[in-house]
Amino acid sequence: MTLRVGIIGASFARKAYLPALRHVPSVEVVALASARLDSATAAADAFGVPHAYDDWRTMLAQHQFDLVCIATPTDTHAAMSLAALDAGAAVLCEKPTAMNAAEARQMRDRASELGRVAVLGHELRFNPNRKLVAELIASGAIGEVRHAHIASISNGYAAPDARPKDDWWSLAERGGGRLGANGSHQVDMLRWWFGEAKAVMGRAVTMVRDRVDKRTGERWTATADDVVHMVLEMQNAPFVDTFLSGVARHDMDNVTQVFGSEGTILLTNSDERLLLGKPGADFEDVSVKDPNAELEGVGVGIWNVSYVALMQELAEALSQGREPRGASTFEDGLRNQLVLDAVKRSGDERCWIELEH
């Protein structure tokens, strides 16, 4: 059985989807759509995709797909996912799930009603080191988890001219911002490791609001958050502190620390170094190398490499008529979105938010 795949969104498709799909047996990428036909055509030509469109609705109407992959601005996720599901396809949708929990719930419910496989692009669930962290925590290797800390500090949005005018990632009305871009990954990972979030307190703010287009000199206003702080009480971790910034003057990496009664876990993104500390002993390097990093044409970095395993599992699950193992589902997407929405509400109301279950 050959799985027929359609892709909406050209940029991330070229970085992650298309290189990964080259290493998935029995998959044919039939068509690709983007808001700009030149972008769609360039990506299609580079990877031998026979059809390119500047209208995703036309693409869905012209072809029968087994899987539709969506990598577009957040404010389009719900409409595209629902349409693809209604057209008979399974869906892989990028994070954050949607603009809010109401949209995420609609997506979850439609997939369930139609009996379709529907997953989110939380590819780090397929990263070997993060899978090992999950195993270490679940096995009790570090004892009872007492607290955890994640800091992701970067400088990509620091300069006023760092982003082009009306860059959607900088516009709240389009679902941009660090909370959705990075926070959604962190929340999904924390729920995977520590169970459901019980309560959250946080803020998502815009530090660099006044911006200028580097090419034209035109001034414009960013409305999406570029700094996020959230504290979560989890089912199996009483205190998890997460700080995200895109406006530091220096890139300080993404660092994850988990502190247990019998040990400590340290993980850094840039070098993918996973350390395990036990009482009375030096930290031991227990890092696992991802074999997919050596595959031809796969992009550098955990985000691109992890997509190979995600796509392989998704394709295998679809061909066998089952749910993919280990993937973040639309149910997870709703649970993640409830946390993101609560962070915004907490900032507005200056209080802890209890989460529904």
Domains of the chain: 3-124+307-327 (3.40.50.720), 131-290+335-354 (3.30.360.10)
Residue 357 has pLDDT above 80, yes or no: no
Band of the pLDDT at 123, cuts 50, 70, 90? very high
Q: What is the mean pLDDT of the chain?
A: 97
Query: Residue for token digits 């394709």?
Result: 315
- Which two three-digit tokens encode residue 66? 């087994």
pLDDT at 232: 98
Please give the Cα distance from 107 to 6 (Å, whole number).
19
pLDDT at 1: 80
Q: Note the Cα 243 to chain centre separation in Å.
A: 17
Q: What percent of the chain has pLDDT over 70?
A: 100
Q: Using one digit for the tens of pLDDT, what is the confidence trace for 178-220?
A: 999 999 999 999 999 999 999 999 999 999 999 999 999 999 9
Q: Using one digit for the tens of pLDDT, what is the confidence trace for 219-247?
A: 999 999 999 999 999 999 999 999 999 99
Please give the Cα distance from 85 to 353 (Å, whole number).
33
Average pLDDT over every residue of 41-66: 98
Cis previous bond, 96, omega within 30: yes
Q: What is the DSSP string of 162-174?
A: SS-TT-GGG-GGG
Query: Residue for token digits 């769609």?
Result: 40
Give the number of other Cβ atoms within 10 Å of residue 32's Cβ: 31
Instruction: State the sign of the Cα–Cα–Cα–Cα dihedral 189, 195, 196, 197.
Output: negative
pLDDT at 333: 98
pLDDT at 356: 79
Q: Note the Cα 273 to chain centre separation in Å.
A: 21
Give the number of other Cβ atoms within 10 Å of residue 157's Cβ: 25
Spell out the alpha helix ranges (H) of the chain: 11-12, 18-21, 37-47, 56-62, 77-86, 101-114, 128-139, 178, 184-194, 302-320, 330-349
Band of the pLDDT at 44, cuts 50, 70, 90? very high
pLDDT at 93: 98
Average pLDDT over every residue of 348-354: 98
The DSSP code for 301 is S
Residue 348 has pLDDT above 80, yes or no: yes
User: Higher confidence at residue 357 or residue 34?
Assistant: 34
